[in-house]
Amino acid sequence: MFRQILLVFENEKILSEALVYARRFAKRIDSTVTLLIIVPMSFAGRTAITPKRNTIRNIELRMGKRLSESLQPFIQEGIEVNSALRIGNPAQEMLKFLADRPPFQSIIWGSGHDLPDKGRGSRRHWISQVMGSLECPLLTVSRKETE
């Protein structure tokens, strides 16, 4: 069976423990891994497009380096790995990304040990807004207990 894991990051917040967890999990269930960085950016309003293009280009260069660094350990361990960058409304970009691919078996939140705030209404974090639409479990990397 072809299995896939999605490791989601917000901005440049890449938790090293999440990368390790995803590698171990992928080896355990014999799956591929996709690293997805989502960068929030608003395209609303009447702003000139040229500054946005320059900002997007800078984001692509910066995130490309981060993704490349993050991919290397997977490749070294023989795990098939892909990467993607999405810029825009995070909740919308996440759902569009998922709709465009075969289902993942698990999604791992890679930007922290816990899911971000679980506020109410429109103040909720975008990952909390899409949780109910996911077709698979959303996992977090637990903290190691200190002895």
Question: What are the angstrom distances between the C-alpha of 90 and each of 32, 69, 136, 140?
Answer: 23, 23, 18, 18
Could you list the residue range(s) of the whole structural domain that residue 105 is in? 3-89+100-139
Would residue 127 count as lying in a domain? yes
What would the pLDDT profile of 50-107 be if each residue is shown by its tens digit? 677 888 899 999 999 999 999 999 999 999 999 999 999 999 999 999 999 889 999 9
Would residue 114 count as lying in a domain? yes
- Give the whole-angstrom CA distance, residue 122 versus residue 5: 28
- Give the whole-angstrom CA distance, residue 58 versus residue 66: 13
Would residue 41 count as lying in a domain? yes
What would the pLDDT profile of 93-125 be if each residue is shown by its tens digit? 999 999 998 899 999 999 988 787 766 666 788
Q: Which residues contact 112 (CB under 8 A, 6 or more apart)?
A: 13, 15, 140
- Give the whole-angstrom CA distance, residue 44 versus residue 147: 50
| Number of domains into which the chain is organized | 1
- Give the whole-angstrom CA distance, residue 74 versus residue 25: 11
In this structure, what CATH number is given to the domain that contains residue 59?
A: 3.40.50.620
Would residue 21 count as lying in a domain? yes
Q: Is the pTM of this model over 0.75?
A: yes
Helix (H, G, I), strand (E, B) or coil at 35: strand
Question: What are the angstrom distances between the C-alpha of 82 and each of 66, 112, 131?
Answer: 13, 21, 22
